[in-house]
Structure 1
Amino acid sequence: MRIPWFGLALAGTTAFFIVVLFGPYVIRLLTKLKCGQTVRSDGPKTHQSKSGTPTMGGLLILFGITAGTIAGLGGNWSYNLIWTVFITLAFGALGLLDDLLIIVFHRSLGLKARHKLLGQVFFAGLFGLYVVQSGAMETLKIPYFNTHLAFINPVLTFLFVVFTLVAMSNAVNLTDGLDGLASGTTLIAGLAMGILALVQGEMSLGIFAAALAGACLGFIWFNAPPAQVFMGDTGALALGGALAAIGILSRTALFLPIIGGVFVAENLSVILQVLSFRMRGKRILRMAPLHHHFELGGLAESKVVVRFWVVSILLALLGLAGYKIG
């Protein structure tokens, strides 16, 4: 197996520099257009000072990923890569609409949850049809075992793809609550999933993952506390969709719950909090998602973020250790 080192390096560095170089101009434009974040009134009180910080910075990430992928591969795009870019941009467009509604109507919520979910399912469904028709995911690598899970029912394949895309997209979106948290954890998960894609022979997806990591690193340049810009749903929904697409098309989607364990924990924390309150009338966390629980427990925001990064690195290594050649 020949690793395209030059393409990987070019994709990552191009994505990084695109975001860093154009970041100040985009931030000024978003500020001029008054695209400020409306902070939830029921969130941590310390976050009220962030109100008005430019959002929709995910546009920078999307431009960086696209430019980096083009630089790393030129015009040699596989169908798998085309569909990965499609789902990333489609989820990004859905998030952009959500962010615009928040800005226009000056509220903390944009699209209604059911409308957002409907949009996610629609785009994920198109992606699922491609996966079923192309046979791109007839098997899945099983972590820690030198064997594969075979999909013999196209309906189950379709449902698995849709669920994975929607779940990961929403999980990354829930993680995007502290400065640098979603971009840092996605950077780490993206690198790990890119390595898995490479060893699975999906070179174009590996280069896409390198561009994703480079764009996230560039975004941290401006999103590190105190953040100059937020990615918004434009970035968060897109990044979750991108991670899921890499896993699905490289046949390593079963590694996502391990490598993306932070996203899974954030998602579960919200589900368990809601269920507990509805069934028992009590909350199990100070506040959901999970990062707010630790923040309200007295940890500084930056410390919560760095510790989540550390956990993400450990989970990424744990996931990679579960790959058996064969």
Structure 2
Amino acid sequence: MELSIVLQLASALLISGFLVYLSIPVIVRISEEKNLMDKPNKRKVNKKPIPNLGGVAIFIGIIIAVLLAIGRMEYNDLRYILAAIIMLFFIGIKDDILIISPRMKFGVQTVCAIILIVLGDIRFTHLHGIFGIDVLSYTSSVVLSLITIVGLTNAFNLIDGIDGLASGLGILMSLLFGIFFFVWGHLEYVILCAAIVGALYSFSLYNLFGHRNKVFMGDTGSLIVGLLIAVMAIKFNEFSAGKSVYFAAPMLSMAIVFIPLGDMARVFIIRLKNKKSPFSPDMTHLHHKYLALGYSHLHASIVIVVLNLCVFVIIYTLRQWNGYALLMLLACFTAMLPYAPRVCAFVFHRVQNILSK
């Protein structure tokens, strides 16, 4: 590996992490002075008001780190990615401070997706033979890409319910996508992944272990990170052309984002079955089940992130299987999600008992 590449990746990681680390204490102080706090209620897990503008620091860290680390490298997609996340930044801040309707949030997400798809040409162009479909028509490509971007953005937003979970999953996903992008030679996206990892790592230190400067990601952060993960999922499928994982690429990308995607699908089905809006808030998410069993935020987040990693490892190991078989396996994993907390608790207690003897 060339020294210049190492320096670019290291600078993206360190600059984003350093900026977030410096920004959060300032953001917390301003939030406390202006009373910009996430206040407890019956469906929230925090017991006292906590600043929820950590996404501002994540936004600053990622953008500045990528712009500085990219150097003279060609990155045509960056202008459209920046336009989209800047729009989400402002709608996220408004929602964190004033609360906006799901319809308005959905509308802005749709506009951001259209910018990426139509102007940036960041979209699926083939289905890798799944359902007998290879090359997609332009209309089908736009529709599928729109559903993916808006869906994953919302999925990541919905999974941000306990300390450390959204940042832990974001770090894992960025690392996995970044490894593939590095091997395939798309260093511009590796830099983006490194910047996300650095920003989320520094944020998680305050989110999980902060006392004086504890902070939440808020919609500002979860929407931005969710959209970036969606972009990477699309690029993963596009960059896989001609690679050994080509036919398994859609299932691999779904495995990388398994927990947010699977939990959103499960929760939406439950809400529709109960004749509620899919976006109506409740306490039925996977992380709520872990908390109900007595897990701490840190332990629940670690278990869920490891669960996501295990699903990816299984799908990657079986990547030579038929695509339909891998899809069915992912569907089975999704159906098993409600039972995961109790299974994990049972295994944990058994191991604890064995070690204590």
Question: Taking structure 2 as the reference length, what is the TM-score of the superposition?
Answer: 0.76
The code of the aligned residue for 1:125 comes to I
Gaps of 5+ in 2: 241-248, 277-281, 321-357
Residue 53 of structure 1: how far off its partner (Å): 0.5
Which residue is 1:15 aligned to? 16
Please give the alpha-carbon distance, in whole angstroms, between the structure 1 residues aligned to 2:13 and 2:301.
23
Which residue is 2:125 aligned to? 138
Distance 1:141 1:30, change over 3 A: farther
Residue 319 of structure 1: how far off its partner (Å): 5.8
Distance 1:318 1:186, change over 3 A: farther
Which residue is 2:186 aligned to? 202
In structure 1, which of residues 292, 308, 314 is the aligned counterpart of residue 310 of structure 2? 314
Which residue is 1:271 aligned to? 268
Please give the alpha-carbon distance, in whole angstroms, between the structure 2 residues aligned to 1:9 and 1:318.
30
Distance 1:186 1:315, change over 3 A: farther
Residues 85 and 242 in structure 1, CA contact (< 8 A), matched pair in contact too = no
Distance 1:42 1:123, change over 3 A: same
SS in structure 2 of the partner of residue 78 of structure 1: coil
Distance 1:239 1:294, change over 3 A: same
Residues 187 and 216 in structure 1, CA contact (< 8 A), matched pair in contact too = yes
Please give the alpha-carbon distance, in whole angstroms, between the structure 1 residues aligned to 2:218 and 2:100.
13
In structure 2, which of residues 289, 293, 299 is the aligned counterpart of residue 303 of structure 1? 299
SS in structure 2 of the partner of residue 76 of structure 1: coil
SS in structure 2 of the partner of residue 224 of structure 1: helix
Distance 1:114 1:237, change over 3 A: same
Distance 1:116 1:95, change over 3 A: same
RMSD: 2.8
Residues 124 and 144 in structure 2, CA contact (< 8 A), matched pair in contact too = no
The code of the aligned residue for 1:203 comes to L
Deviations along 1:209-229, one digit per CA (max 9) or x if unpaired, are 110111000101111156700
Larger RCO (CA under 8 A, 6+ residues apart): 1
Please give the alpha-carbon distance, in whole angstroms, between the structure 2 residues aligned to 1:302 and 1:167.
26
Which residue is 1:247 aligned to? 233
Please give the alpha-carbon distance, in whole angstroms, between the structure 1 residues aligned to 2:210 and 2:301.
12
The code of the aligned residue for 1:289 comes to H
Distance 1:135 1:186, change over 3 A: closer
Please give the alpha-carbon distance, in whole angstroms, between the structure 2 residues aligned to 1:90 and 1:322.
39
Residue 197 of structure 1: how far off its partner (Å): 2.4
Distance 1:235 1:149, change over 3 A: farther
SS in structure 2 of the partner of residue 79 of structure 1: coil
Which residue is 1:230 aligned to? 216
Gaps of 5+ in 1: 102-109, 280-285
Which residue is 2:42 aligned to? 42
Which residue is 2:68 aligned to? 71
Residues 174 and 193 in structure 2, CA contact (< 8 A), matched pair in contact too = yes
Please give the alpha-carbon distance, in whole angstroms, between the structure 2 residues aligned to 1:95 and 1:33.
18
Which residue is 1:215 aligned to? 199
Residues 189 and 312 in structure 1, CA contact (< 8 A), matched pair in contact too = no
Indicate yes or no: 2:114 matched with 1:125.
yes
Residues 181 and 187 in structure 2, CA contact (< 8 A), matched pair in contact too = yes
Which residue is 1:282 aligned to? none
Distance 1:323 1:97, change over 3 A: farther
Please give the alpha-carbon distance, in whole angstroms, between the structure 1 residues aligned to 2:86 and 2:176.
21
Please give the alpha-carbon distance, in whole angstroms, between the structure 1 residues aligned to 2:39 and 2:166.
18
Residue 48 of structure 1: how far off its partner (Å): 4.7
Residues 164 and 208 in structure 2, CA contact (< 8 A), matched pair in contact too = yes
Distance 1:187 1:129, change over 3 A: same
Residues 52 and 218 in structure 2, CA contact (< 8 A), matched pair in contact too = yes
SS in structure 1 of the partner of residue 73 of structure 2: coil
Residues 11 and 68 in structure 1, CA contact (< 8 A), matched pair in contact too = yes
Deviations along 1:166-187, one digit per CA (max 9) or x if unpaired, are 1111111111110111011111
The code of the aligned residue for 1:12 comes to L
Please give the alpha-carbon distance, in whole angstroms, between the structure 2 residues aligned to 1:88 and 1:322.
35
Question: Taking structure 1 as the reference length, what is the TM-score of the superposition?
Answer: 0.82
Residues 80 and 115 in structure 2, CA contact (< 8 A), matched pair in contact too = no
Residue 68 of structure 1: how far off its partner (Å): 1.6
Which residue is 1:89 aligned to? 86
The code of the aligned residue for 2:207 comes to N
Residues 179 and 225 in structure 1, CA contact (< 8 A), matched pair in contact too = no
Residues 84 and 246 in structure 1, CA contact (< 8 A), matched pair in contact too = no
Residue 76 of structure 1: how far off its partner (Å): 3.2
The code of the aligned residue for 1:219 comes to F
Q: Which has the larger radius of gyration?
A: 2
